[in-house]
């Protein structure tokens, strides 16, 4: 469990305890009462060699949650309204943190702190302060304590690190905010991108699938038809097939079939499309689990894309078929649409 997950866990445990105990909900809980609650069923954590570390991990998590405004300040720990709202989905908080910009020297120092400060066991995590000499060695900066102190104070003021500044030295530790900023950039961007796609749902350039299987002839035929419609239809922006969302509820359904890979998709498209179209398939992390993202790459010089050979039974597609999308519907083009695709391809080939 990393430190971000540990803090999220502690937040949810504080909420869980407040639901069981009206006094805790009203005035909060102290450190020792909360520790006893956390240790129910896991007494082995408090062995002599790691009991203090576990206690430090609890205090460190709560301190970070307080700094974020998710737990009230004070010795009695009480989750704020914001904390209760975000506990089920931290993505809005992560998104706001990851929108902030840092200068290169701040990024460098943050990276060193985040690499050296966090520690974890299977069921908890904590952060430790890193001394100035270790930080300087990790940075490779010239031995200018004023430079390091200046950058460190900026990060401490912004909440990206916690710091002790004393005569003759500095000690810095990682924070929830700083770890999120460095480790959740890609996740938050992709999650927000997926949320935007889901909000608009299926269009001429986006197709959602609850599941994708490529075992039977009909499954292959339906896939080829859908991909051809995405690549052929003239539309602006990227073209996506998104796998893992329910068609009716528009909510996350589950991770894609592990048998679906870039190589497997390329083999099928090479055999059944002409000219062979290009795609890029990736599994990405989403708030609820993995999502399959198939980007379909359109090359106007290859238009019109067609079925290379017939396949399928109930969902049969025939050689030379062309498919386009009318909104979210996949259909064969009209005579005018087909001629427009031929003209677009001819023009692209004549003006490469």
Model pLDDT for residues 136-162, shown as the tens digit of each residue: 888 877 666 688 889 999 999 999 999
Q: Give the H or E element holding residue 306.
A: strand 306-307
According to DSSP, residue 245 is labeled B
Each of the 352 residues of the chain gets a pLDDT tens digit; together they read 999 999 999 999 999 999 999 888 899 999 888 988 988 766 555 544 456 888 899 999 999 999 999 999 989 999 999 999 999 989 899 989 998 999 999 999 999 999 999 999 888 999 999 998 888 888 877 666 688 889 999 999 999 999 888 877 889 999 999 999 999 988 888 888 888 899 989 888 899 999 999 999 999 999 999 999 999 988 888 899 999 999 899 999 999 999 999 999 999 999 999 999 999 999 988 877 899 999 999 999 999 999 999 999 999 999 999 999 998 889 999 999 999 999 999 998 988 7
SS3 (DSSP) at 282: strand
Compute the distance between CA of residue 213 and CA of residue 297 in angstroms, rounded to an integer.
21
Which pLDDT score, from 0 to 100, does residue 235 have? 83
Which pLDDT score, from 0 to 100, does residue 193 have? 86
Peptide bond connecting 258 to the previous residue in cis, omega within 30 degrees of 0: no
Compute the distance between CA of residue 114 and CA of residue 179 in angstroms, rounded to an integer.
6
Which pLDDT score, from 0 to 100, does residue 135 have? 86
Compute the distance between CA of residue 4 and CA of residue 215 in angstroms, rounded to an integer.
40
Residues 6+ apart with CB under 8 A from 112: 130, 135, 138, 139
What value, to the nearest 5°, has the Cα angle with vertex 272 and ends 267 and 277?
A: 70
Which pLDDT score, from 0 to 100, does residue 42 have? 61
Which pLDDT score, from 0 to 100, does residue 48 have? 47
Phi, psi torsion values for 64, nearest 5 degrees: -65, -40
Which pLDDT score, from 0 to 100, does residue 212 have? 93
Compute the distance between CA of residue 234 and CA of residue 218 in angstroms, rounded to an integer.
26
Q: Report the predicted TM-score, pTM, of the whole model to 2 decimal places.
A: 0.71
Which pLDDT score, from 0 to 100, does residue 50 have? 57
CB 32 within 8 A of CB 26: no
Which pLDDT score, from 0 to 100, does residue 43 have? 55
SS3 (DSSP) at 344: helix
Model pLDDT for residues 185-237, shown as the tens digit of each residue: 888 888 888 888 999 898 888 999 999 999 999 999 999 999 999 999 888 88
- Long-range Cβ contact pairs of 198-203 (< 8 A, separation 24 or more): 198/245, 198/250, 201/250, 201/328, 202/327, 202/328, 203/235, 203/325, 203/327, 203/328
């Amino acid at each position: 469990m990393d430190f971000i997950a540990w803090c999220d866990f502690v937040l949810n445990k504080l909420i869980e305890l407040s639901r069981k105990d009206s006094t805790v909900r009203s005035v909060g809980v102290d450190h020792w009462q909360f520790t006893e609650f956390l240790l129910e069923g896991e007494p082995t954590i408090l062995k002599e060699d790691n009991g203090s570390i576990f206690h430090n991990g609890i205090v460190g998590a709560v301190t970070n949650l307080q700094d974020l405004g998710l737990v009230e300040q004070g010795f009695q720990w009480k989750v704020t309204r914001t904390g209760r709202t975000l506990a089920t989905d931290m993505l809005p908080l992560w998104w706001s943190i990851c929108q902030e910009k840092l200068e290169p020297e701040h990024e460098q120092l943050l990276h060193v702190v985040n690499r050296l400060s966090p520690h974890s066991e299977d069921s908890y995590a904590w952060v430790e302060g890193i001394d100035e000499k270790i930080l300087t060695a990790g940075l490779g900066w010239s031995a200018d304590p004023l430079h390091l102190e200046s950058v460190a104070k900026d990060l401490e003021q912004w909440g990206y690190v916690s710091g002790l500044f004393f005569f003759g030295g500095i000690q810095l530790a990682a924070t929830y905010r700083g770890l999120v900023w460095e480790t959740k950039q890609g996740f938050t961007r992709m999650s927000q991108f997926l949320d935007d796609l889901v909000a608009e749902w299926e269009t001429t350039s986006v197709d959602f699938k609850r599941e994708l299987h490529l075992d039977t002839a009909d499954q292959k035929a339906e896939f080829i038809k859908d991909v051809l419609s995405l690549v052929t239809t003239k539309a602006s922006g990227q073209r996506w097939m998104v796998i893992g969302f329910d068609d009716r509820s528009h909510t996350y359904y589950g991770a894609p079939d592990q048998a679906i890979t870039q190589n497997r998709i390329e083999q099928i498209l090479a055999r059944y499309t002409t000219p062979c179209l290009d795609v890029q398939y990736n599994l990405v992390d989403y708030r609820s689990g993995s999502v399959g993202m198939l980007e379909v790459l359109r090359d106007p010089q290859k238009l019109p894309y067609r079925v290379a050979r017939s396949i399928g039974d109930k969902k049969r597609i025939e050689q030379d078929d062309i498919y386009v999308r009318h909104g979210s519907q996949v259909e064969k083009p009209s005579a005018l649409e087909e001629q427009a695709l031929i003209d677009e391809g001819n023009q692209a080939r004549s003006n490469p």
